[in-house]
Amino acid sequence: MRRRDLALLPALGLAAPAVAQSDSRPQVTVAVQNISTSNTLEMLREQSNVGTRIFRNFVEPLVDTDWNGDMSLIPGLATGWRRISNRVVEFDLREGVTFHDGQPFTADDVAFSFGPERMWGGGAREVPPAVVQNARRAFPGFERIEVLGPHRIRLHSSVPDIILEGRMARSIAVIAPRGAFMASSGWMDWARHPVGTGPYRVAEHRPDQMLTLEAHDAHWQGRPPIRRLRFAEVPEVSSRLNMLFSGEVQFASDIPPDQISSVESDRRFEVVGGPINNSRYLLFNKSHPVLANALVRRAMSHAIDREAIIAALWSGRTSVPRGLQWEFYGDMYLRDIEVPRFDPAEARRLLREAGYRGQPIPYRVLNNYYTNQTATAQIMTEGWRALGLNIQMQMVENWSQILAGEPETRGVHDWSASAVVPDPSVQMSGSWGRTGAPWLRNQWRNEEFGDLAAELETSMDQQRRRVVWRRMLEIIEREDPGYVVLHRNASFTAKRRDIEWRASQSFFMDFRATNWRA
Amino acid sequence: MLRFTATRLVRAAITIVMVVTFAFVVLRLSGDPAQIIMGADAPPEAVDAFRTAWGLDEPLWVQYISYFGAIFSGDLGRSMRDGREAIVLVLERIPATLALTVPALVIKLALGIPAGILAALYRNSALDRAVMMFAVAGFTIPSFVLGLLLVLLFAVQLGWLPSGGQESWRHAILPVITLGIGGAAALARFTRSAMLEVLGQPYIRTASAKGVAWRRVVANHALPNAAIPTVTIIGFMFGSLIAGAVVVESVFSWPGVGRLLVTAVANRDLAVVQCILLLVAMTMITANLVVDLLYGVLDPRLRGGARKAEA
C-alpha cells in the first residue's frame, strides 16, 4: 500500500491531534473493535475483556495494578492497607480526591459502592440480578465495609481470605459516589453514564458508536495529558487501519499479527503491545464418552505444537507460559512447571493405551472471537488427525452454541483466562473449583482438585498453599487434564510513532499522564 | 379500489406477522441471548439470573405469546443489552441511515434513469456500450469492495475525505457514493431493458410512421410505458431506505439502523431485531402498496382490472 501522500496530511490538519485554542492538550481518538459488550460502562455489568480496555480511564479502585510494570498491587484510591486479621483488611483512603461531579471522595462512598444499592440488591434501588451474581463471584466472602473515619475503612470477610487486598483491585471494586448514583433514574441509567474519580470523565456515551471522555483536571495525579479522549467503535480491522493511515484516529486497537509488518512499512506508524495477562487454552469436556478417558486428553495435549503456532500465526511475538500461572503470582509462581511438551510419539502411545478406535470428538470453534482462533484450531486439528484422532471441527456463531446440548455432546472448545490478582486462587479455585463454570456445567470435575481448590482459597499458610497449588497444576494439566494451555494471548495496537505510549500487559489502554508523551 | 387496498393491507399484516414469527424462532433457536450478552466469562449463576430476569427460562411458546401480546399493546420491548426501549434505540438510528440512503436514492435516480434511457435510445452505439460497461461494473462490484476502494483512494491516498464515522457531512460522501453507484447501475440496466422492449412495440412504429416527432414519441409513448417495470425497482429501492445500507454502514462505521441490526442479531437482542424487522417490513410493504397503486395511475388497463376485482 502506498502512503506517500500522507506527507500532505499535516498540512490539511488531519494527521495531528486536534488542538483547542484555549487548551493546548490534544484530542485523541482510538479506534476499537467494540466499546462495550453490554452497552454499559459499569464493570459490575460489563465483565469482559472489551470493558477492561477502557474502564480504568474513568473509574478507579482502592487498590490499583502496576499495568505497565510487574502487575503488582499499588496504591489507588487507598494510600495504604494493613492486615488486621485473616478476615479483615484496613485501608487508608487518599485525601483530596474528587469525583467528576465535584464531590469529595470519602469513606462513605466506599461503603456505598459496596452497598445494596449498587452491588448486592435489597436496597433502595433495584439491582439487576446478574450484577448481584457477578459481585458474589468476585467477593464470595464479603461481609461489610466498616467506616472508621472520613478516610479509613475496614473490609470484613466472613471467611479467611488471603487475597482480600487483591480483590479490591478487581474491576468491579471501583468506587462510585453516592450522590451521583442516587441522582440517576435507575441502575442501568447509571451504568450507561457512570461517575468516578478517574483521570477522564464520561462526557458522552453513544452505545455502539462513540465514547467521549474529557479530562478531569481535578484528578489527584494532576491534569491528564489529553483534553478529550474518544473511543470510536470501528468493527472492521481494515477500516480501523484506514482511519489510522488517513489521520482520523491516532490509535487503532486489536490489530492481527499478520498486519504488523504492513503497518510498520510506513515509518510514521508502529505497532506496540505483546503478551498480556491472558492465556489462550483449550477446554476438555470429561462428560464426552471419549474424553472421559484421561489418556485421550493427555494424548491431545502432547499433539499440540505450540511453538509452530506462535511462529506461524503470531510472528513469534508471544510465548508459552508455564501452565496457567503468572510471574506476578510472586512466591506462588512455580518456575519449574512446564506445559505438556509436543511429543507425537508419546501421544500415539497414550492413544494406544487408551484403546482409542477413531471415535469422533467434536471441537466447536468460534470464528476468530480470539485473535487467530480459527487458524490455530485448524493447525491443531490437523496435528490431531495426523495421530489418528477423529476431531470434528464445528464452526459456531456464539458462546451459546458452544455450550448448547447435553454435556455428553460437547467435546473441546477454546477459552481464555485473565488474571489480575497476584495469587492463583481467584483464577484457578474460582474458575475451576466447585463453584467454577466447568464444574457447574459438568464439563470437568475432580474431587481431589475440588478439595485443594477450597483449601487454596481459605488457607493462610503460604507454604502449604504452594504445595496445594503445585498439586492442583499436576492434576488439571497432566493427570486428569481439564484444559491444555496454548500460549499467552497478545494484544497489538497500531499507533502514530511520534506519540510515546506504552501498551500495558493487559487489554487496558492506559492514557494517564504517566504513560503519555506526544 | 377500496377492496383492492384492503386486500393488500390484510396481506401486508399477514406478511409482517410471518416475518416477525420467523425472526423470533430463528433467533431464539440459534442462541441463548443470556449467554451471548453476558459473555463467556460470566459466572453461570449470573447467566441464569439474567435468563430469569428476561423471561428466557420460559418455554418458547410462552415467550412468543407474551411478545406478541406486548406488541399489540404497543410495547415493542426493551434491549436486553442495556435495558433501553427498543423502539427508542431504533428511532435514534433512523436519521443516520436516511442521511445515507436518501441522497443515495437521488443519485440512483439521477444517474440510473437518464443513463438507461440514453443507452436504449442509442442502442449498440459507443455511448450504449460505455454506459453498460459502467453499469455492469457498478452492479457486480460488491459494495464492501467498492467502499474499501473508495476509502483507499480518497481517504488514505489523497486525504480528501474521511474514511469512517459520522461527524460531519463530509463523512457521508463516500458511503453515499458507494450506495448510489450500485443502485444507479442496476437502475440503468432495468431502464434500458424496459425502454428497448417498448421501443420495439408496434405503437411506437405507428407513431413514428404517422410523422410524430421522435422526441414526442419517446416522451409521450415510450417513457410512460417503460416506467412500469422501472417503478417496480424504484419501489424496492424506497423499501430499502431503512435497512438497505447494512454492509456500507459496517464498512464506514456509520451508526445507522444497519449496524444496529448487525449488532443486535449478533447479540440475539431480540426486541431490537424484531423492532427493526417490523419497521423494514412495514416500509417495504408500504412501498409495494404505493407501487401497486402507481401501476393503476400509469396504466389505465390495470385500473380497470382493479375495478373488475372489486366488482
**B:214-233 residues touching chain A, CB 8 A cutoff:** none
Shared domain for A244 and A320, answered yes or no, is no
Judge contact between B199 and B118, C-beta under 8 A.
no
pTM for this prediction: 0.84
Shared domain for A323 and A466, answered yes or no, is yes
Cα-based distances in Å from A232 to A110, A144, A162: 31, 39, 40
In a domain? residue B80? no
In a domain? residue A303? yes
Q: Which residues fall within 8 angstroms of residue B206, CB to CB, at 6 or more apart?
A: none
Condensed to tens digits (0 to 9), the pLDDT of residues B163-189 reads: 888 888 999 999 999 999 988 999 999
In a domain? residue B35? no
- Count other Cβ atoms within 10 Å, centred on residue A2: 9
**A:351-390 residues touching chain B, CB 8 A cutoff:** none
Shared domain for A231 and A290, answered yes or no, is no
CATH number for the domain harbouring residue B283: 1.10.3720.10
Q: Which residue has the cell 500465526?
A: A313
Range of the domain at B117: 86-302
**B:67-96 residues touching chain A, CB 8 A cutoff:** 79, 81-84
Across the interface, whether the CB atoms of A245 and B81 are under 8 A apart is answered no
* Strand locations in A241-285 (E): 251-252, 269-284
Average pLDDT over residues B43-68: 87
Q: Which of A6, A119, A240, A242 to mutate to test the interface with B (most CBs of B within 10 A)?
A: A242
CA–CA–CA angle A15, A19, A23 (5° rounding)? 160
Across the interface, whether the CB atoms of A137 and B46 are under 8 A apart is answered yes
In a domain? residue B5? no
Across the interface, whether the CB atoms of A207 and B82 are under 8 A apart is answered yes
- The pLDDT value recorded for residue B305 is 52
Q: How far is B70 from chain A (nearest CA, A)?
A: 22
Across the interface, whether the CB atoms of B162 and A129 are under 8 A apart is answered no
Name residue A492's amino acid: F
**A:166-195 residues touching chain B, CB 8 A cutoff:** 186, 188, 191-192
Across the interface, whether the CB atoms of B159 and A3 are under 8 A apart is answered no
Domain count, chain A: 2
Q: Which residue has the cell 457514493?
A: B177
- The pLDDT value recorded for residue A117 is 94
Alpha helices by DSSP H, A319-403:
344-354, 373-386, 399-402
In a domain? residue A261? no
Mean pLDDT, rounded, of chain A: 91
CATH number for the domain harbouring residue A142: 3.40.190.10
Dihedral sign from CA coordinates of A35, A40, A41, A44: negative
In terms of CA atoms, which chain B residue is nearest residue A243? B163
Shared domain for A218 and A315, answered yes or no, is no
Average pLDDT over residues B9-29: 83
| Chain B residues touching residue A191 (CB < 8 angstroms) | 82
Strand partners, A38: none
- Find, among A433, A415, A413, the residue nearest to A424 by Cα: A433
In terms of CA atoms, which chain B residue is nearest residue A2? B157
Shared domain for A240 and A288, answered yes or no, is no
In a domain? residue B311? no
Find the Cα–Cα–Cα–Cα dihedral B8, B10, B13, B19, rounded to 10°: -70
Average pLDDT over residues B95-106: 94
In a domain? residue A15? no
| Chain B residues touching residue A9 (CB < 8 angstroms) | 159
In a domain? residue B169? yes
| Chain A residues touching residue B50 (CB < 8 angstroms) | 128-130
CATH number for the domain harbouring residue A289: 3.10.105.10
Judge contact between A225 and A211, C-beta under 8 A.
no
| Chain A residues touching residue B32 (CB < 8 angstroms) | 400, 404
Across the interface, whether the CB atoms of A132 and B49 are under 8 A apart is answered yes
Shared domain for A324 and A353, answered yes or no, is yes
Who among A242, A246, A399 is closest to B36 (CB)? A399
- ipTM confidence score: 0.76
Across the interface, whether the CB atoms of B164 and A14 are under 8 A apart is answered no
Strand partners, A364: A394, A413
Regions of chain A short of the pLDDT cut 70 = 1-22
Q: Which residues fall within 8 angstroms of residue B153, CB to CB, at 6 or more apart?
A: none
Strand partners, A238: none
- The pLDDT value recorded for residue A167 is 93
Tell me whether A137 touches chain B (CB under 8 Å): yes
Q: Which of B41, B89, B247 to mutate to test the interface with A (most CBs of A within 10 A)?
A: B41
In a domain? residue B36? no
Across the interface, whether the CB atoms of A236 and B250 are under 8 A apart is answered yes
- The pLDDT value recorded for residue A18 is 46
**B:155-194 residues touching chain A, CB 8 A cutoff:** 155-159, 162-166
Shared domain for A246 and A359, answered yes or no, is no
Name residue B293's amino acid: L
- The pLDDT value recorded for residue A399 is 86
In a domain? residue A336? yes
Range of the domain at A210: 3-9+29-250+499-515
Condensed to tens digits (0 to 9), the pLDDT of residues A306-357 reads: 999 999 999 899 999 999 999 999 899 999 998 899 999 999 999 999 999 9
- The pLDDT value recorded for residue B70 is 86
Judge contact between A113 and A175, C-beta under 8 A.
yes
pLDDT score of B4 more than 90:
no
Shared domain for A218 and A291, answered yes or no, is no
Who among B40, B49, B157 is closest to A133 (CB)? B49
In a domain? residue A292? yes
Who among A12, A129, A207 is closest to B49 (CB)? A129
In a domain? residue A268? no
Q: How far is B143 from chain A (nearest CA, A)?
A: 14
Domain count, chain B: 1
Shared domain for A70 and A187, answered yes or no, is yes
Mean pLDDT, rounded, of chain B: 86
Cell numbers placing A483? 484444559
Dihedral sign from CA coordinates of B8, B14, B19, B20: positive
Across the interface, whether the CB atoms of A137 and B43 are under 8 A apart is answered yes
Across the interface, whether the CB atoms of B37 and A40 are under 8 A apart is answered no
Average pLDDT over residues B269-283: 88
